[in-house]
Every structure is written in C-alpha cells, then in structure tokens.
Amino acid sequence: MKISVTASIAVKISVAASLATLAGAAVAASNPHRACCAALAADTQLHGKVFAPNSTQYDAQLDTYYSANAAQHAWCMVLPESTTDVQATVKILTKEQCPFGIKAGGHSAWKGSNGIAQGVTVDFGYMNATSYDPETGIVSIQPGARWGSVYEFLNQYDVTVVGARTSVVGVGGFTTGGGYSFHSNSHGFACDMVVNWEIVLADGTIVNANSKKDADLWKAQKGGSGNLGFVTRIDQQTVNGTQLWGGFTSYDLSERDIVFDAYLAFVEATVENSPDQIIVALYYDFTGFSIRSIMTNNQGIANTPAFDVFLSLPNISSTVTSGPESEIIPQFTGPTPLGLYANWFTGMATNTLEALTIIDELHHEYAGKMQAAAPTSNFSTLIEFQPVTNTMVDNSDKRGGNVLGLERVVADGPVLMWLVSLTVDTEENQEIILPIAQEFVAAINQQEQAAGHFIDWVYLNYAWGDEKPYSYYGQANLDLLETVSHKYDPKGVFQKLRQTGFKFS
Ligand SMILES: Cc1cc2nc3c(=O)[nH]c(=O)nc-3n(C[C@H](O)[C@H](O)[C@H](O)COP(=O)(O)OP(=O)(O)OC[C@H]3O[C@@H](n4cnc5c(N)ncnc54)[C@H](O)[C@@H]3O)c2cc1C
Ligand SMILES: *[C@@H]1O[C@H](CO)[C@@H](O)[C@H](O)[C@H]1NC(C)=O
Ligand SMILES: *[C@@H]1O[C@H](CO)[C@@H](O)[C@H](O)[C@H]1NC(C)=O
Ligand SMILES: *[C@@H]1O[C@H](CO)[C@@H](O)[C@H](O)[C@H]1NC(C)=O
Ligand SMILES: *[C@@H]1O[C@H](CO)[C@@H](O)[C@H](O)[C@H]1NC(C)=O
Ligand SMILES: *[C@@H]1O[C@H](CO)[C@@H](O)[C@H](O)[C@H]1NC(C)=O
C-alpha cells in the first residue's frame, strides 16, 4: 500500500517537473497550450496536481466520464485537492487567459459538457470528501463526491440528503444544475437544500454565499451551474432518517394505457410535501421494448395509499423493498457502464394521456428506424416520464428560491418532464443512430406542439448541448444571473474562458 502511494507521488512530481521545464521556454508565450499548462505546473501550490496527456492520472480521469462523448483530451488536467489549490488554478487561468472546462462527477453526457479538448480541464475528482455536523444537521460536501459515498457516510448519523437517484452521479454538477431527488416533493431540488456555497471567484477570492451574506450569489448559484465561479464546498441541510422504499416494477406492454393512466392520476393527486414519487420508464434494446414504474416513498414506508392503483395493476416482476438509501439507490444505478456513447435529451409536455402516448408511439417508430439503420449495433433507448409538481416548486420558493423559473411552468398544475436517453456501443454506430435520435426528439416537440401539449422549459441537468436551458428560465432569473455575474465576475471569466457546460448569456 505504502509503496503504491509513494510511486504515484513520484509520477505526479515527474510529470509536473516535465511541464515546469516548459515554463521559461520562448515557445510558451506564443503557444497558449504550453503557456497555460506550463504556468499551472510551475506554480508551487499546484506541484504534482497538473497532469499531462498519457500520464497515469490523466488517463485514469478520462476513464471516469460516464459518456465517451464527454471524455475530451485536454491540453492538461488540474486535479485540485483543496480550495487553496482552486484559488491558485483560477488565478493562472485568468492571468494566462486559458480556455477551461469544469468537471465534477463527469456524468453529463454531451461533448463539451465538462471536459475540454482545446484547453485545461479542472477536474474535481480528488475533492470528494464529506463531513457532517450533528449540531446543525448540515452536511458539507466537496463537488467531486459521488452521491453514493455521501449516503454511505451519513448512515452513521441516521440522516440523508436531497441527492441523486443514482449513486454514481457527481455532487457538483447535480446540485448546481438543480437536482431532482426522491425527496423533491418533500423538500424541492437538491440546490434548494443548500444553505451555503463556498465559491472561488474568477479573481481567486473565496466567498461563502448564504441567505445572510452574498444572498444574491447564493440564489443565483441554485441553478447557475458553472456560470459564476468554482463551487468548492456545498453545505446542505440534511433530512432525518435514511430509509427508502422503492423498486422497479415491470408490466406487459399490453398494459401501457392503464400504467399511463395510473401515472397521470398519481401525479394529479400529489399532496403537499408528499414522500411518495413515481417515474414511468420505457426501454428498448435488442431484446425488445419494455415498460416499468419506479415507485418510491422516502420514509421507507411500503405500499402507501398513494400507490393503490399501481399496486393493483398486473405486473411481470417487481423489486420493491425497503432499506437505507445507500442500499436501495445502487439498485436503481444498475451497472451504468462508463465509456459508452451516451446522449441525453429532455423536454416538457402537459400531464395528459395524449402527451404520453405521442412519445411512446414515436419511440416505437424511431427505435425501429435506429435498429434498421444499424442492424448489428448494440444500443438502447430509455424514456423516462417524471413530473414537476407544485409542491416541488413551493418547497423551492420556501427555501429562498432558485433560478429555474418553474413557477410559471406549474401555474396550471403538475407537468410532464420527459427524458430521452440513447446509449450506443461504438462511435461508428453512434454516427448512424444519433441523427435519428435527434429527429425523434424534434418529432416529439413538433407533435406535442401540434396537439397543444408542448411546454417550453428544459431541465439543464438532462439537456443536450444545443437545448439552451437558460432561455426558458424567465427574464427575472436571467437578470439576476447577469447582475450577479457582473458583480462577482466582472471580467466575465466564467462566460468567456469557461467553454464547457451551459451559459446563461
Ligand atoms: C446515470 C445518471 C443518473 C442521473 N440521475 C439524476 C437524477 O436522479 N436527478 C437529476 O436531477 N439528474 C440526474 N442525472 C443528471 C445529472 O444531474 C447531471 O448529469 C449532472 O451534471 C451530473 O453531475 P456531475 O457532477 O457528474 O457533472 P459533470 O458532468 O462533472 O458537470 C456538469 C456541469 O456542472 C458544472 N459543474 C460541475 N462541478 C462544478 C463546480 N464545482 N463548480 C461550478 N460548476 C460545476 C460544470 O460546469 C458542468 O458543465 C443523472 C445522470 C446520469 C448519467
Ligand atoms: C499518448 O500515447 C498515444 C499512444 O501511445 C500516442 O499516440 C500519443 O501521441 C500520445 N500523446 C501525447 C500527447 O504524448
Ligand atoms: C475519492 O477519490 C479517490 C481518488 O479517486 C478515491 O480513491 C476515493 O475512494 C474517493 N473517496 C470517496 C469517499 O469516494
Ligand atoms: C430531526 O431529528 C432531530 C433529532 O432527533 C430533531 O431535533 C428534529 O426536529 C428533526 N427534524 C425534523 C424536520 O423532523
Ligand atoms: C406484482 O404482482 C404480484 C403477483 O400478483 C403481487 O403479489 C405484487 O404485490 C405486485 N407488486 C407490485 C409492486 O405491483
Ligand atoms: C450490449 O451492451 C450492454 C451494455 O454494455 C451489455 O451489457 C450487453 O452484454 C451487450 N450485448 C451484446 C449482445 O453485445
């Protein structure tokens, strides 16, 4: 054990040293690639934390991206280990005018969402610690942590967090983009439970933004993603108890309409702060189509009355059970293999049978087209239906609000948020199938529009690179983001030099 630790430090130092030798070279000034990486590697604070292509650490980080599309080969990677390291990094990026990307858990799928090819990737993978204060009930999480590790750590205190429904997802991207959880009816989005953000601004200053101090930044960061600074610590109010009831229940395809009706009625009947939530998922791969529900109760209570209709439907199989989130959520995670060609798209429609049916019928049509176009490829499509409810949005507002702009969206009641995910085995097959998936998504929006069911809102954490989520967040929220950006990042570093993720401007 000791030997391998020493060896890895030795490699770090030698890579850093080889980059540092470039620092004074005449070529550096004229070559931004070398100037940025050399300046980072030459910084005393960052010694052994800047990695060149083909180093062990660089290659290991490339293997942590969920989607092969996102795993871009940066000029070099910085792997900060502390807030001080992030301060040193941002000062150099700003001074040298280096284009950069921000990566936390690396679970955004599109090319350019987190890693960068023409620039420096700041990868929070080594800043993944969690600590808890039983006095205040506040958990402090570094952005590179994965939710599974947070749930496991909190078990000893009998508390949990409003976090992801999959254990492998990163805290940084999830929380700064919103964060839809099994607790969202009860408490809002993950960002709504954040009582304090520690943020390193473009000039290297550390700000602790909360409801009492720098409250404008606190609110804007709830949905602000990478637009405002590097988030280096997330202080979140915890939730009592760790128990979750839930699982996958599969139905025969012939039951589609009664499953859809049960979903719609469940959503309409959502009570304030309900612990119960539902997802309906449609799936296709070479074995055919399937349909299932994901019922959950975030207090660990089985078979609550809200699920009466679902529980009365004939099912093929079911995995529902109760246990701590740290054990139930890995079940939903499944294998989630890394390094496949994953692509996510999202949109919204009314909570109506016609809206669901349009998507299901288009799914059958387009999955068939994809299979016919690439008959030997191993790909899958996953459609998820999940609601945005009034109680979610009320809970956001009660906690100070965020910038998602959902108040307008739920003004007439709960709505359908749909997710289309396409996963393909090889780049060659993706080249054939992805354009068909894009036609599928366009067809959903066209048909929902024609039927009067289209709703103009896009969830950042599920969006494809061209979906412009911020254009739907509303003028007041965009004004807040703009004001906060001018105030805390007057040179616009996170608008201009940051080249990954979504921009509000
Ligand atoms: C298997 C799977 C399950 C998922 N389940 C859910 C779910 O239950 N609910 C849900 O809402 N979403 C879910 N998502 C979507 C998920 O929220 C997004 O993919 C999210 O971006 C993942 O966070 P990450 O840290 O892994 O992101 P990354 O891909 O590393 O980063 C995404 C973006 O966040 C910004 N960012 C990251 N870290 C920081 C930081 N420290 N400071 C400033 N900006 C930062 C970056 O600019 C980047 O553009 C899921 C995704 C997958 C692949
Ligand atoms: C990394 O290694 C690969 C394979 O050995 C090689 O083709 C590539 O040129 C190397 N890249 C750099 C930047 O050294
Ligand atoms: C944090 O990251 C390191 C390096 O990847 C890893 O070895 C460790 O297990 C991670 N810790 C947690 C709590 O996930
Ligand atoms: C959570 O548990 C703590 C300690 O048992 C208690 O003081 C607090 O009131 C509980 N909070 C809620 C919201 O139930
Ligand atoms: C699934 O069907 C079985 C057999 O009819 C039944 O006992 C069970 O309660 C059902 N489970 C769910 C979650 O619907
Ligand atoms: C298809 O890909 C999935 C996911 O990687 C894998 O589990 C499965 O074994 C593959 N099937 C075939 C037939 O190649």
What local confidence, expressed as pLDDT, does residue 77 receive?
98
Q: Which of 104, 125, 146 is the last residue of a domain?
A: 125
User: Are the CB atoms for 383 and 307 separated by under 8 Å?
Assistant: no
Number of domains in the chain: 4
Q: For strand 159-160 and strand 138-141, is the pairing parallel, antiparallel, or unpaired?
A: unpaired
Contact 56, 99 (CB under 8 A): no
| 147, part of any domain | yes
pLDDT of residue 332: 82
Q: Which residues contact 435 (CB under 8 A, 6 or more apart)?
A: none
Take atom 12 of ligand 2 and give the residue whose Cα is closest: 53
What is the CATH number for 214? Answer: 3.30.465.10
pLDDT band for position 302 (cuts 50, 70, 90):
very high
Work out the pLDDT band at 239, boundaries 50, 70, 90: very high
Residue 17 has pLDDT above 60, yes or no: no
DSSP state of 346: E
Examine the domain organization and report whether 211 and 295 are in the same domain: no
Q: Is the Cβ–Cβ distance between 183 and 211 less than 8 Å?
A: no
* CA-proximal residue: ligand 6, atom 5 (nearest): 337
Q: What was the pLDDT predicted at 6?
A: 31
When pLDDT is averaged across residues 348-368 and rounded to a whole number, the result is 98
**Residue 148, strand partner residues:** none
Q: Is 216 domain-assigned?
A: yes
Nearest-angstrom CA–CA distance, 491 and 276: 45
Confidence of residue 24 (pLDDT cuts 50, 70, 90): very low
pLDDT above 90 for 20? no
Helix (H, G, I), strand (E, B) or coil at 158: coil
* Model confidence pLDDT, tens digit, residues 261-274: 999 999 999 999 99
Residue span of the structural domain in which 15 resides: 1-28
Contact 107, 66 (CB under 8 A): yes
Residues 424-439 have a mean pLDDT of 98
pLDDT above 90 covers a percentage of the chain that reads 91
- Tell me the CA–centroid distance for residue 256 and ligand 4, in Å: 41
326 near 242, Cβ under 8 Å?
A: yes
| CA of 54, closest atom in ligand 2 | 1
Q: Which atom of ligand 1 is nearest to the CA of 144?
A: 25
Mean pLDDT of the chain: 94
The predicted-structure confidence for 326-351, as pLDDT tens digits, reads as follows 999 998 876 678 889 999 999 999 99
Mutate to test the pocket of ligand 2, among 22, 54, 73, 118 (most ligand atoms within 8 A of CB): 54
Q: What residues are paired with 449 via a beta bridge?
A: none
Same domain for 324 and 438? yes
Domain harbouring 319, CATH code: 3.40.462.20
Whole-structure pTM value: 0.94
Could you tell me if 322 and 449 lie in one domain? yes
Cα 430 to ligand 6 centre (Å):
15
> How confident is the model over 382-399, as pLDDT tens digits?
999 999 999 999 999 999
The C-alpha atoms of residue 276 and residue 285 are separated, in whole angstroms, by: 29
Q: How far is the CA of 311 from the centre of ligand 5 (A)?
A: 6
Measured from the Cβ of residue 25, the count of other Cβ atoms closer than 10 Å reads 12
Whether the Cβ atoms of residue 120 and residue 35 lie closer than 8 Å to each other: no
**Residue 491 in domain:** no
* In a shared domain, residues 324 and 415: yes
The greatest distance separating any two alpha carbons of the chain, rounded to the nearest whole angstrom, comes to 75
CATH number of the domain encompassing residue 40: 3.30.43.10
Q: What confidence tens digit (pLDDT) does each residue in 176-222 have?
A: 999 999 999 999 999 999 999 999 999 999 999 999 999 999 999 99
Q: DSSP for 344-395?
A: EEEEEEESSHHHHHHHHHHHHHHHHHHHHHSTT--EEEEEEEEEE-HHHHHH
pLDDT value at position 12? 38
H helical segments located in 421-474: 427-450
Judged by its nearest atom, the ligand closest to the C-alpha of residue 251 is: 5
Are the beta carbons of 504 and 482 closer than 8 angstroms?
A: yes
Note the pLDDT tens digit of each residue in 76-132.
Answer: 999 999 999 999 999 999 999 999 999 999 999 999 999 999 999 999 999 999 999
The yes-or-no verdict on residue 251 having pLDDT over 90 is yes
β-partners of residue 277 are 296
Report residue 304: phi and psi, to 5°: -65, 155
Q: Is residue 478 part of a domain?
A: no
Expressed in angstroms and rounded, the spacing between residue 340 Cα and the centre of ligand 6 is 11
Residue 379 CB-density burial (10 A; 0-12 exposed, 13-18 middle, 19+ buried): buried
> What does DSSP say about strands 379-388 and 230-237: parallel, antiparallel, or unpaired?
unpaired
- In whole angstroms, how large is the CA radius of gyration of the chain? 23
Q: Verify whether ligand 1 is closer than 6 Å to residue 102 (CB atom).
A: yes
Q: Is 495 exposed, middle or buried (0-12, 13-18, 19+ CB in 10 A)?
A: middle
Is 173's C-beta closer than 6 angstroms to any atom of ligand 1?
Answer: yes
Whether residue 251 sits in one domain with residue 335: yes
Q: Flag whether pLDDT at 19 surpasses 90.
A: no
What pLDDT does residue 9 have?
35
* Judgement on whether residues 142 and 221 belong to the same structural domain of the protein: yes
Q: What pLDDT digit, counting tens, does each position of 129-155 carry?
A: 999 999 999 999 999 999 999 999 999
